[in-house]
Amino acid sequence: MPLNELSATRVGLGGFRLVLPGRVPTKKNRPRIIRVGGYPRVAPCKEYASWIHDTEAAALILSARLSCAGLTLPVEVPLTRTLRAYLFMKTTGDLSGYEQAVDDWLQHYGFIANDRQIRSHDGSRLMLDRQEPRLEIVAQPYEMRPGEI
């Protein structure tokens, strides 16, 4: 992963914008069944596990950039998260699979405290970009609407 193409900026008081070059696999693309304590469990596919490992350096750099910009990580307030996944080719993966993978990645590397704090996925899209596949993630504090519980 070209580290010079990474981007991390603070958005508003408690939000951030990240750009990660490369391809992200969905978490449930060919999942594996493993046994934990004698019970079967669904484990993420090998491609997803490899992606988590391969993006560790990028996550550390992005986290440091956000900290330098004055953002305290992990963000612990409810969030609205927008994902733009620019894919190299059309895939069979659906948007919700990419959203789950990215939300888990954000939690795994300490950008957010828990992926359950993401209350809205407004504006997320899958798009095609053969020249520059990448992920663009924008997370901002969630604002409740009147009448919402």
pLDDT digit string, tens, across residues 1-56: 555 589 999 998 889 999 999 888 887 666 567 777 888 877 777 888 899 999 99
Residues with Cβ within 8 Å of residue 92, at least 6 apart in sequence: none
Can you tell me the distance from the alpha carbon of 103 to that of 101, in angstroms, rounded to the nearest whole number? 6
pLDDT digit string, tens, across residues 48-103: 889 999 999 999 999 999 999 999 999 999 999 999 999 888 766 788 888 989 99
Contact status, residue 106 vs residue 15, Cβ threshold 8 Å: no
Contact status, residue 104 vs residue 97, Cβ threshold 8 Å: no
pLDDT digit string, tens, across residues 111-133: 999 999 998 888 899 999 888 99
What domains lie within the chain, and their CATH numbers?
A: 3-141 (3.30.1330.70)
| Model pTM score | 0.85
